[in-house]
Structure 1
Amino acid sequence: MDTRTFMPPEWAPHERTWMAFPPENETFGPAGSLSLARARAAWSRVARTIAAVEPVTVVADPADHEAAREALGEVAEIVTIGLDDAWMRDIGLTFVQTAEGNVAGVDWVFNGWGDQPWAPHERDAKVGVEMAGLAGVERIGSPLVNEGGAFHVDGRGNVLLTETVQTDPGRNPGLDRAAIEAELHARLGTRHAVWFPRGLTRDYEEFGTRGHVDMFACFTPSGSVLLHRQDDPSHPDHEVTRQMRQVLEEAVDAEGRPFEIIDVPAPRTVRDEDGEFVDWTYINHYVAQGLVVLCAYDDAHDEQAAAILAQAYPDCRIELVDARDILCFGGGIHCITQQQPRPRGDEAGQAARMTEEDQR
């Protein structure tokens, strides 16, 4: 019996998108705070944008069900699961397909991004179990401490990783790269890994993940890699992103071919309102059905990034959504979304759903 599973690329057909509704916590702030209100408004903007093209299910803590319904109206399905945080890419299932083509969910061990002191995770660690029941899919447990933002696949056997996440002593002490790759390949259906040594600078500060790859590199349908590039020499990521490019220039894919690299210049803004260097990025976007939801920053480079992504995703419309009130909490649009693919071979069901949507 083949127990390996396969993660379709993000641009493959979706059944739905999963998100979470920000609860009160150390990151977002207490109930009634301006910071929590800003987070909820930002998450809701993304949910509404995606709901225009595919179903969205939003997980809310039981205490926040009414607030979620008030914020989202009828655009999304609201379900209740206990939450510590709202980064669905990381706390939720990674949806995959089995050898038979059925959808299942890989439930990684979640320990608060390496057991960081600001990240209580007792409830988040159980989200995967609850999600599997709600989605009606098989749950596949994994012994690996991991998060969905820590890898990116292309559906052609390749996966992008960072050493500071996967070999983090706070996550997987005692596991070497070979052991980590073996588990990832078995669960994601990949066979070749490209390892970056680290992530963006701010990802190592408070509320950081210690180097998630989805902040600086991702595949496209053509097999090329979109790569974050910081052009301001004053920003520490100026040197970091050039090191990342060198890694990718020296790498090959599962077939032994070099990667086509598409540089995506960072926003022109380099510091936030507190004077700290930002990790604003256009790489952390989400690919829904026929739509790329792209982080916007009211920045001079927003439209340039949209044009680059329009070429990278020729079958998709690009929609810029203000993400400043997401990035200030430590992540982007990709971090707060998780795609559930359709079963393999579901073309008939897809056609029926498209007809229903046209009729509506």
Structure 2
Amino acid sequence: MTFRMPPEWAPHARTWMAWPGPNPTFTDAEELAEARAAWAAVARAVRRFEPVTMVVGPGLREGARELLGADVDIVEHELDDAWMRDIGPTFVTDGRGGLAAVDWVFNGWGAQEWARWENDSTIARHVADLLDVPVHSSDLVNEGGAIHVDGEGTVLLTDTVQLGAGRNPGWTREQVEAEIHARLGTTKAIWLPHGLTGDYGTYGTQGHVDIVAAFARPGVVVVHSQQNPAHPDHERSRTYADLLRGSTDARGRALEVVEIPAPTVLKDEEGEWVDYSYINHYLCNGGVVLCGFEDPNDEIAAGIFRRLFPERTVTLVDARAIFASGGGIHCITQQQPKV
């Protein structure tokens, strides 16, 4: 029986998220409160289009309910962090009504010193158990934010993630591709050399692809475009666009590349390069939930997404508090395909 990962634009049964709790990612009570408000805003935006289930740590249900409202479902389970894209299951379907959950090995984004993952490494299986669906266990250290598929056999990967020493030392490119293809039903991998500069900071993922490039539909990929030469991602984003324009997908099509201008802000309050990106959006049933930054380019990005997805409603949600903790809207959501 062949399973494959549907593209994000395929119909969803629901979205899964995880609630922020006290941990090293949120350095103080104020930052944690800001994160919870941001997570709740995303959950409410997605709930306009499809059901949402939030996994919350023990004892946090009441506080989460106050911010989430009555329409978001809540389940309790021990958590370390709140990045459901990475700790949750990658869902695959068999095309005949069957659903399964891929459980990658999760080790805190390459066993980073600050990270904890004893509980988060069990979340994928817990979600699968709640749904009573089979689990496909993988020996590959990988996260949901490190892959993006077109639903027709193509997957985007990053050298510094799947081949990173903190994740899969000793694995060859061919071994990684074989495992990815076996789990996702893909047949061709397109590798990017690295992620955005800011993603290699303290709480970075070391190069997740979902902040760099994403399929909008088969044959069409959106890519981050840092247009200010002062930012180190200026050259990096040109590399990504050129590489993707020179690539073909699993069906042999040359990729159409749509460049999405980065927000105008270059550094955060600490003087570090930001990796603010509109690529880290989330597609849900009838909607696009898009990262906003109170930036002049927010509406430019929204306009591009409206043209790419004319049948969907584009909603901007302020994602600055999410990025301050190491990710974006795509990073905190995980789709469950409808079967």
Q: Name the TM-score, length of structure 2 as normaliser.
A: 0.98
Match of 1:26 in 2: 24
Match of 2:9 in 1: 11
Gaps in structure 1 of 5+ consecutive residues: 344-360
Structure 2: distance between partners of 1:319 and 1:66:
27
> Does the residue aligned with 2:161 lie in a helix, a strand or coil?
helix
**For residues 329-344 of structure 1, what are the structure 2 equivalents within 5 Å?**
329-343=325-339
8 Å Cα contact 2:54-2:75 kept in structure 1: yes
8 Å Cα contact 1:271-1:277 kept in structure 2: yes
8 Å Cα contact 1:296-1:322 kept in structure 2: yes
8 Å Cα contact 2:216-2:308 kept in structure 1: yes
> Does the residue aligned with 1:159 lie in a helix, a strand or coil?
strand
> Does the residue aligned with 2:55 lie in a helix, a strand or coil?
strand
8 Å Cα contact 2:292-2:318 kept in structure 1: yes
Match of 1:129 in 2: 125
8 Å Cα contact 1:221-1:313 kept in structure 2: no
> Does the residue aligned with 2:67 lie in a helix, a strand or coil?
helix
The percentage of aligned residue pairs carrying the same residue is: 55
1:86 aligns with 2:82: yes
Match of 2:191 in 1: 195
Matched residue type, 1:103: L
- Equivalent of 1:161, from 149, 157, 160? 157
> Does the residue aligned with 2:42 lie in a helix, a strand or coil?
helix
Shift of residue 219 of structure 1? 0.3
Structure 2: distance between partners of 1:222 and 1:5:
19
- Equivalent of 2:287, from 291, 295, 298? 291
8 Å Cα contact 2:219-2:249 kept in structure 1: no
Shift of residue 135 of structure 1? 1.9
- Deviation string, structure 1 residues 89-120 (Cα, Å, up to 9, x no partner): 00000111036431111010000000001111
8 Å Cα contact 1:215-1:281 kept in structure 2: yes
1:229 aligns with 2:228: no
> Does the residue aligned with 1:62 lie in a helix, a strand or coil?
coil
Match of 1:172 in 2: 168
- Name the stretch that deviates more: 16-25 or 311-320: 311-320
Matched residue type, 1:301: N
Q: Name the TM-score, length of structure 1 as normaliser.
A: 0.92
Match of 1:47 in 2: 43
**For residues 203-352 of structure 1, what are the structure 2 equivalents within 5 Å?**
203-343=199-339
Runs of 4+ more than 2 Å apart: 98-101
Structure 2: distance between partners of 1:211 and 1:321:
23
8 Å Cα contact 1:10-1:287 kept in structure 2: yes
> How many residues are aligned here?
339
Structure 1: distance between partners of 2:218 and 2:206:
29
Structure 2: distance between partners of 1:286 and 1:69:
23
Shift of residue 314 of structure 1? 2.0
8 Å Cα contact 1:203-1:211 kept in structure 2: yes
- Name the stretch that deviates more: 263-272 or 248-257: 248-257
